[in-house]
């Protein structure tokens, strides 16, 4: 009987670790939306400054390695790095650059998050995005992490609208989907994905 109880306990622990291992906890994801957007802007500027004198187009792998190296020297970015973090994969970034819609469709997130993401992508007024924020925060079907992901995405869209008066930047849709792709793993991955995609799109 004791062996049976021990077996059941070990099985329960194993299942718990498997279901939680691929996602950061809510505490690990704690960074305000404005902090995430601000960090993205800071790291973009640092990368641009470092490569100001460099001419020519760099490969995707070169961009990933350069941006990660710069990011890992930033104390605010390091706060987002958890055990789940890993260097962004070139194949994942390439998939977004090639067909962002397909990536969003196949992301391992619930249909509700995908629906809100499409709404965000198709919204071009800051006031409407602010209203959508309230709807997301009050949604009982979303987890705290899912709400944070969506609020971060809204902030990225708002910043682009405020800066350019429209959302016609070719990188923005891909950047938003890249953020979600990375956020499934860690917020650090989400931040890097946006910077990588923006850099690649702007050099093309």
pLDDT digits (tens, 9 = 90+) for 37-84: 889 989 988 888 877 656 667 889 999 999 999 999 999 999 999 999
Show me where the domains of the chain are located. 27-203
In this prediction the pTM is 0.82
Q: For position 52, what pLDDT does the model report?
A: 61
Q: For position 157, what pLDDT does the model report?
A: 92
Mean pLDDT on 112-126: 94
**2-11, 52-61, 102-111, 125-134: the lowest-pLDDT one:** 2-11
Q: Is 120 helix (H, G, I), strand (E, B) or coil?
A: helix
Q: Is the dihedral of CA 17, 84, 106, 34 positive or negative?
A: positive
The Cα 20–Cα 33 span in angstroms is 23
Mean pLDDT on 173-189: 95
């Amino acid at each position: 009987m004791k062996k049976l109880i021990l077996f059941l306990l070990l099985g329960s622990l194993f299942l718990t670790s498997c279901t939680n291992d691929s996602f950061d906890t809510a505490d690990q994801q704690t960074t305000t939306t404005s902090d995430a957007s601000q960090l993205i802007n800071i790291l973009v500027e640092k990368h641009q400054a470092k490569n100001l004198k460099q001419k020519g187009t760099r490969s995707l792998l070169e961009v990933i390695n350069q941006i990660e190296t710069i990011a890992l020297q930033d104390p605010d970015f390091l706060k987002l790095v958890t055990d789940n973090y890993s260097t962004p994969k070139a194949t994942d970034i390439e998939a977004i650059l090639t067909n962002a819609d397909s990536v969003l469709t196949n992301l391992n997130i619930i249909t509700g998050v995908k629906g809100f993401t499409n709404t965000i992508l198709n919204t071009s007024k800051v006031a409407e995005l602010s209203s959508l924020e309230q709807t997301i925060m009050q949604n009982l079907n979303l987890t705290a992490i899912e709400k944070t992901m969506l609020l971060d995405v809204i902030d990225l869209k708002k910043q682009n609208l405020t800066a350019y008066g429209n959302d016609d930047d070719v990188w923005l849709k891909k950047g938003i989907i890249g953020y979600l792709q990375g956020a499934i793993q860690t917020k650090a991955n989400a931040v890097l994905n946006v910077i990588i995609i923006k850099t690649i799109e702007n050099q093309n």
